[in-house]
Structure 1
Amino acid sequence: MVAPDVKAETMKLMDRRGALEAEMDAIIARLTAPGGPGITGGLVDAEGFPRSDIDIPNVLAQRRRLAELRNDHKDVTNKIDKNLEILHSSKLSRNEQTTSRGSDTLASSHIGLSRSEPMEEDPVTRLPFAIIDEITDGSPAAVDGLQLGDEIVKFGNVEAGDRLQERLMSEAISNEGSQVSLAIIRQGSAMNLTITPRRWHGRGLLGCHFRML
């Protein structure tokens, strides 16, 4: 059976992508620290001499490494996308077969799938669009179970697409005081949670930050 192997590979690729992003973030933080040369900034002073306040060979090495990581990240993401297409196609095929069998059974014994009880959708067949990279203790997000590193597959009605920050904010505001369902991936495992956007002593209605992937 192909799907389980593809699913396992996809989870490993997602872990790999997370590790690449962590290393890229660390390099960017070092290069853009106060007084740092930046990711692409010049390495000479106003008179055209090599800057004496930085380790130029080290900076060049970090920039090369960042470029390599970005290429690797792109390759891994492309592989994930292809695997997700395979998983999605496989899932659709299974659902069509199940729906056909369920319809036959329902006609004779009234036992089968109900529109009010859809089959649980495996979040791995969809691409995470954001990751929690900041969360405040005591915030609604923390209290309701979100953790640093959680990859967001679905937040209420928001899935991958355009204007994600705007849509996430709108979803939180429109559901203030009400539970919002989340589909996430945590340390390689798919999970479903609920969170209630609400007023608290900190900023926003959630108290966490979504970094778009």
Structure 2
Amino acid sequence: MVAPNVKAETMRLMDRRSALEAEMDAIIAALSAPGGAGITGSLVDAEGFPRADIDIPAVLAQRRKLGELRNDHKDVTSKIEKNLEVLHSTKLTRNEQSIPRSSGISAPLHGGLSQNDPMEEDVVTRLPFAIIDDIADGSPAALDGLLLGDEIVKFGSVEAGGRLQERLVSEAVSNEDNQVSLLIIRQGSPMNLTITPRKWHGRGLMGCHFRIL
């Protein structure tokens, strides 16, 4: 079957992306250490001479490596997005091709899986459709345990599909002051969380931003 193979590849790509992010974070931390040159800081002093307080060749090597990692991260993310599109379209196509029998049971799909087979559903629903790319300190999202970089697999009744931003907002508004169950992927591992959308001193009911993948 195509979909499970694509799913396995996507999970490997997600692991690769996490590894790239960890490596980038380490380089950024080293460059940004007190007294360091920073990511884009000058390597010469006020008089135009090479700075004597830093290892310039090492800094240049770290900056070059960081640029390479960022390019790799962009490529991996692009592949993940394309695979997610394939998985979503595969699910829709198979649902359309299912033919009800007289007994009311769906006919088997490719590979012998029925439309409601849990393995088939897992192909798509276990993959994230959004990522938390901004979260405010003291916000409901932060206080309830969401972290920057968490990947959203399910938010209440919202899963992969169309009009995701609109549906996420609607889900939060309709559940104001009520707990909403989330299924997320954090550093490659699935987790269940609950968040309570509610008014606070900042914008919105949660204080975070979902970037659709």
TM-based fold match above 0.5: yes
Corresponding residue number in structure 1 for 2:104:
105
Residue segments in structure 1 that go unaligned for 5+ positions in a row:
107-112, 114-118
Deviation per CA, 1:29-78, whole angstroms, max 9, x where unpaired?
A: 22123332121221000111111111111111110110110011011111
- Aligned mate of 2:125, from 107, 123, 126: 123
Answering whether residue 140 of structure 2 is matched by residue 141 of structure 1, we say no
Deviation per CA, 1:145-176, whole angstroms, max 9, x where unpaired?
A: x6786422454569899xx8xx9899768744
177-186 or 48-57: which moved more? Answer: 177-186
**Residues 134 and 148 of structure 1 are in contact (CA less than 8 Å); yes or no, is this contact kept in structure 2?**
no
**Residues 129 and 153 of structure 1 are in contact (CA less than 8 Å); yes or no, is this contact kept in structure 2?**
no
**Residues 131 and 149 of structure 2 are in contact (CA less than 8 Å); yes or no, is this contact kept in structure 1?**
no
Residue segments in structure 2 that go unaligned for 5+ positions in a row:
106-114, 116-120
151-160 or 26-35: which moved more? Answer: 151-160
Distance 2:174 2:79 in 1: 36
Q: CA deviation at 1:124?
A: 4.3
Corresponding residue number in structure 1 for 2:77:
77
Q: Helix, strand or coil: the match of 1:194?
A: strand
**TM-score computed with the length of structure 1 as normaliser:** 0.65
Deviation per CA, 1:62-100, whole angstroms, max 9, x where unpaired?
A: 1011011001101111111121121111111122234x4
Corresponding residue number in structure 2 for 1:9:
9
Q: Counterparts of 1:1-213 in structure 2 under 5 Å?
A: 1-98=1-98, 100-101=99-100, 105=104, 122-130=124-132, 141-142=144-145, 150-155=150-155, 175-186=175-186, 188=188, 193-197=193-197
**TM-score computed with the length of structure 2 as normaliser:** 0.65
RMSD: 4.2
Instruction: Tell me which stretches of 4 or more aligned residues in structure 1 moved more than 3 Å.
Output: 119-128, 131-136, 146-150, 153-161, 167-176, 186-194, 208-213
Q: CA deviation at 1:21?
A: 1.0
| Alignment length (residue pairs) | 188
Distance 1:46 1:64 in 2: 24
